[in-house]
Amino acid sequence: MGCDIHAHVEIKAEIKGVKKWVYYEEINIPRNYLLFGEMARVRGESNILNIKKRKRLPEDVTDTTLFHFERWGEDAHSPNWLSRSELNKIGKNEDFTLFWGIFAEYREMTTEEGVLDFRLVFWFDN
């Protein structure tokens, strides 16, 4: 049985003077156990880049991401999230170049007015 990732992008934006995380979209990340090991110590326990293993969703996760997570019930495991700086670490490693290309749109988006940051919130099922 394989392990799949469920990944959601959240954007930190300033809306009417208030800074908050807002749901942006779900993205498809192909199955890659080396990457999964790096992101959350699942299916490989990799620690090349020393990404922090949190074992939880962010405290301020958006309602939409939380809805998607809770739909998986007991099948969802190893929830975690990566900051932009952690995604930068992964992107600089040649083993994960393809993965980093997925985030080009979000990196560019943070140069737009009102968009302050982005993060990847994810969990696995198998």
User: 107-125 pLDDT, tens per residue?
Assistant: 788 778 888 999 999 999 9
Angle between helices 33-40 and 84-91 (to 10 degrees): 140
**Chain CA centroid to CA 24, Å:** 12
Chain segment 5-25, per-residue pLDDT in tens: 999 999 999 989 999 999 999
* pLDDT tens digits for range 42-98: 766 666 666 766 779 999 999 999 999 999 999 999 899 998 888 877 777 777 766
Which amino acid is it at 12? K
